[in-house]
Structure 1
Amino acid sequence: MYQKKFFFFVIVLMMLFTACSDQEETAREPDNQEETRVEVDMEESQTHDEEEQKKAEENDAPMTIPEISAPDVSPPKNIQPPEISAPEVSVSVENDSIIMEVPDDLLFDFDDATLREDAKDLLAEISKELEDYSEADVEIHGHTDNQGDPSYNKRLSEDRAKAVESYFQEREELDHLNFITKGFGETKPLVSNDTEENRAKNRRVEMIIHPNDDK
Structure 2
Amino acid sequence: MKIAGLLARETLATTLVWLAPPLTAAKASSRDLHLPTRSLTMPSQEISTSLRDIRMSVIDTVAVRETPAEIHVELPADILFDFDKAVIREAAQPALASAAAILRAHTAGSVEIHGHADAKGSDAHNLPLSLKRAEAVRRWLTDREGLRVDHLKTAGFGSRRPAVPNFKPDGSDDPNGRQRNRRVEIIIEK
Superposition TM-score tier, normalisation by shorter sequence = 0.5 to 0.7
C-alpha distance in 1 between matches for 2:145 and 2:179: 33
Indicate whether 1:207 and 2:190 are aligned: no
Classify 1:145/1:210 alpha carbon distance in 2 versus 1 (closer, same or farther; 3 Å): same
Cα-Cα RMSD: 2.1
Tell me the secondary structure at the aligned position of residue 82 of structure 2.
coil
Aligned to 1:148: 121
Structure 2 length-normalised TM: 0.64
Could you tell me which amino acid in structure 2 is paired with residue 210 of structure 1?
Answer: E
Task: Find the partner of 1:99 among 50, 53, 72.
Answer: 72
Equivalent residues of 1:134, 1:177 under 8 A apart: no
Summarize deviations over 1:133-185 as a string: whole Å, max 9, x none. Answer: 23331110000011011111001000000000001111464238710100000
- Between 1 and 2, higher relative CO (CA 8 Å, sep ≥ 6) is seen in 2
Residue ranges of structure 1 left out of the alignment (5+ in a row): 1-78
Task: Find the partner of 1:120 among 93, 111, 115.
Answer: 93
Q: How does 1:127-138 map to 2 (within 5 A)?
A: 127-138=100-111
Summarize deviations over 1:52-103 as a string: whole Å, max 9, x none. Answer: xxxxxxxxxxxxxxxxxxxxxxxxxxx9545544313221112420001111
Moved more, 125-134 or 169-178: 169-178
- Name the one with the larger helix percent: 2
Classify 1:207/1:148 alpha carbon distance in 2 versus 1 (closer, same or farther; 3 Å): same
Classify 1:169/1:99 alpha carbon distance in 2 versus 1 (closer, same or farther; 3 Å): same
Classify 1:141/1:100 alpha carbon distance in 2 versus 1 (closer, same or farther; 3 Å): same
C-alpha distance in 2 between matches for 1:122 and 1:170: 16
- State the 1:104 CA deviation: 0.5
Classify 1:176/1:201 alpha carbon distance in 2 versus 1 (closer, same or farther; 3 Å): closer
Tell me the secondary structure at the aligned position of residue 174 of structure 1.
coil
Indicate whether 1:197 and 2:170 are aligned: no
Q: Percent identity?
A: 38
Equivalent residues of 1:91, 1:98 under 8 A apart: yes
C-alpha distance in 1 between matches for 2:146 and 2:123: 36
C-alpha distance in 2 between matches for 1:87 and 1:127: 16
Residue ranges of structure 2 left out of the alignment (5+ in a row): 8-57, 168-173
Q: How does 1:160-175 map to 2 (within 5 A)?
A: 160-171=133-144, 173-175=146-148
Tell me the secondary structure at the aligned position of residue 136 of structure 1.
coil
Equivalent residues of 2:63, 2:74 under 8 A apart: yes
Equivalent residues of 2:3, 2:102 under 8 A apart: no
Equivalent residues of 1:131, 1:173 under 8 A apart: no
Equivalenced residue count is 133
Rg: which structure is higher? Answer: 1
